[in-house]
Amino acid sequence: MSVPQSPRTFSAASTAAEVIDGVDLHGRRAVVTGASSGIGVATTRALAAAGADVTLAVRNADAGVQVAARLEAELPSGSGKLSVGRLDLSDRSTVAEFVASWHGPLDILVNNAGVMAPPEIARTAEGREWQFGVNHLGHFALAAGLHPALAAADGARIVAVSSIGHLFSPVVFDDLDYRFRPYDPWTSYGQSKTANALFAVGAAQRWANDGITANALMPGNIADTSLARHMDMQQVADFIASGELALPPQKTVEQGAATSVLLAASPTVEGVTGRYFEDCAEAKPVTERAGAVAGVAAYALDQDNAARLWTVSEALIR
């Protein structure tokens, strides 16, 4: 008589390779946004190594081609195929072009790309505040456009990369674009990351009957990433020194990608939807930002907030 195997458990120290070990994704198709650097590359590598055909959806197609070539040289035989598609989340015309070019089912969508805390306000091609426009609205338009492809798959998964930065701000529905309040890079970032989490809640509400699950996550404090490329580093140092920013322990890129890969492919979260994860486990609630280095705020999982954001977002991408 065989002894049943205990479910595998993972932690903050787990890597993407450890999470994907033993998972077979042959015949599955995935899209990873922001796949030309950081955890996007590590996520792509893990999914392809398990057999998935992965499209790197990137703003700079040349950089994407270079990354794909490097990964193809590293991946073992039997890995999935890699392809590159241009996607600039700040310009929804490129989102529409990417969606129009997609044919057939889509099993995994990892909304990984993002921008963080530019010191001065910027706006997308459509006039939206840049962080909200790129981090949320661009991904919202992408997922909505790819919804038929996701629904055509057998149990598609959407992964929304959020952040502990969501603790800096809820979604301020009365002033999404900083037309009235003074621009602040951190509350703007926080609002966009809250929106990422609420998107997962909203997709879970609306798309469950299509067999689609959607979850959000905090990847961790990862130094080796291009996310901070637009930031004023003196401003960051001053912000940390002021005590307003609490950071969790640093992770490697491979550790940072682990929770994304878990939600994208692991059987341990089969059927789980509308949740927020960190360190490869569901996050615990927190009630205030002060001193928090982990956890999720109630407003980022609120069903009413999610429904309102969905309605607003649909109107904004028309």
Strand segments, DSSP code E, in the chain are 29-33, 53-58, 82-86, 108-111, 157-161, 213-218, 221-222, 250-251, 276-278, 281-282, 285-286, 296-297
pLDDT at 80 over 70: yes
Neighbours of 9 (CB within 10 A): 9
Q: Please name every residue paired with 82 in a beta bridge, in sequence order, or none if there are none.
A: 54
Q: Is pTM, for the whole model, over 0.85?
A: yes
How far is Cα 53 from Cα 272, in angstroms, rounded to an integer? Answer: 23
Query: Mean pLDDT, to the nearest integer, of 29-35?
Result: 98
Question: Which of 183, 189, 276, 299 is the catalytic position?
Answer: 189
- Lowest average pLDDT, out of 46-50, 147-151, 228-232, 273-277, goes to 228-232
φ, ψ for residue 116 (rounded to 5)? -140, 120
- Round to whole Å and give the CA distance between 162 and 164: 7
Q: Reduced to 3 DSSP states, what percent helix, strand and coil does the chain have, rounded to the nearest 5? A: 45, 15, 40
Crossing angle for the helix pair 139-152 and 185-207, nearest 10 degrees?
20
Q: Is the pLDDT of residue 1 over 50?
A: no
**Band (4; pLDDT cuts 50, 70, 90):** very low
297: helix, strand or coil: strand
Alpha-carbon torsion 259, 261, 262, 264, what sign? positive
Concatenated DSSP letters for 257-281? THHHHHHHH-GGGTT--S-EEETTE
pLDDT-above-90 percentage for the chain? 86
pLDDT the model gives residue 3: 38
Assess whether pLDDT exceeds 50 at residue 221. Answer: yes
Is 189 catalytic? The answer is: yes
